Structure formats: C-alpha cells, structure tokens
Chain A
Amino acid sequence: NAGVTQTPKFQVLKTGQSMTLQCAQDMNHEYMSWYRQDPGMGLRLIHYSVGAGITDQGEVPNGYNVSRSTTEDFPLRLLSAAPSQTSVYFCATFGPSTYEQYFGPGTRLTVT
C-alpha cells in the first residue's frame, strides 16, 4: 500500500499562475484534509472533506479550492498564486479505527 501520496514534491510558480496539488490515498479513508506548514505557525487546516462530494473550509481557506469526486483523490487548487502562499503543503487522511491522521510527504511550493 502506498498510503498517502502527493505530487509534485516541489513547485515554483510566478504570481498569478494557477496550479493543482494532487493528493491520493489507497486506505479507503473517508476523511481527508489539506494543511499548510509555515515556520513558527505549525500546521494550519486549509480545507477538509468527510467523503466524496462533501468539502468544507478549515482555518485558512482563502485562495484555495478543493473538490472530492472520489474517495481516493483530494486535489487542492490555487487559482491565482500569491507569494503569501509559499509554504509546504501536506495532505492527510484520518483512520477511524486507529484515530490517527496519516500524512503524505508534502509539496514544497514557492511563489515568486
């Protein structure tokens, strides 16, 4: 099992460009989430989904969109990248039987 996978690992964007960060899981978990990690601020929740077709905003949703058409995939879209979105992005799932969150390896995004 691959667990939680994220692509790409690294990305450099120019201000105003758009892109999609991919997240996929093979654990059949209903709950998935996106976090951003910034120095001194820990992990902050961007968006989350409790199942296919259901998404909701987290703590810092502005500038990001998500959709969830399948259990396996939960892409994060940046519509118009800004330097303030330079960060490391983590996707995670929640395992209801273990009560744990399982994290992907992260995507390091730089917006110039």
Chain B
Amino acid sequence: AQSVTQLGSHVSVSEGALVLLRCNYSSSVPPYLFWYVQYPNQGLQLLLKYTSAATLVKGINGFEAEFKKSETSFHLTKPSAHMSDAAEYFCAVSGLQGNQFYFGTGTSLTVIP
C-alpha cells in the first residue's frame, strides 16, 4: 500500500536560511511523488513532481526535491527562504493506477524575518 510520512508538522527557518522539509514514502511499486503548497485559505498548488525521469526535480519558486530510492525519501529543499514561502506543504504519492493520491499530514513552514 502507498503511504507518505512527513517528519515535522511545524518547521521554522530564518529568512535567507535553507529550507528542508522531509518526506518518506512507502510504495509497493515505483512511485510517482509530488509536493504541493497551500497558502492560507487557498487550494493546493503543485510545486514539483517526480515521475521516474531525473531524480533531482526542480519546481516553482526555487524549490527542488531529490528522489532517493535507497532511503525512500523525497525531501523538499530551497537554498534561501523568503517570507512568501510561509505556507503548508504536502507530500503525496500516487497509487497503483496513478490517479489516486495519498497525502502526508503536512508541514507548516514559518519564515522568521
């Protein structure tokens, strides 16, 4: 069965510091993996996705994530945090048929000026 674990429900970083949001997955087949961002009172927006091409995936707003099969991880990073990055971030893995997504419980990112 597919599942996702996000370590750390709340992460705080200083403006300009590295952002690291952790995601580990469990999947019985090679997974497709996603990071979504949710700004306050809005819907979910795709940040980036891994669909078995390059293991280092670049997304919008300077975010990137690396698929590491040996560690079953798909951590999200950004070299320098900006105030506008404050949001909720969700990691997701797709199911066997690709159309069902399983979401993590989310990580709330706070950026401290």
Counting contact residues on chain B (CB < 8 A from A), the size range is 20 to 34
CB–CB A31/B99 < 8 A:
yes
How many residues of chain A get a CB closer than 8 Å to chain B's CBs?
A: 23
Chain B 24-42 interface mask (CB, 8 Å, partner A; 1/0)? 0000000010101000001
B106 CB contact (under 8 Å) in A42, A58, A94, A104: A42
List the A residue with the shortest CB-CB distance to B46: A100
Other than the known A45-B101, A94-B99, A101-B34, what 16 A-B pairs have Cβ atoms closer than 8 Å? A31-B99, A33-B100, A41-B105, A42-B103, A48-B99, A50-B99, A58-B100, A96-B98, A99-B51, A100-B46, A101-B101, A103-B43, A103-B45, A105-B42, A105-B43, A106-B43
A-B contact pairs, 15 of them (CB 8 A): A31-B99, A35-B103, A42-B90, A42-B103, A42-B104, A94-B99, A99-B32, A99-B94, A99-B98, A101-B44, A101-B46, A101-B92, A103-B45, A105-B43, A106-B42
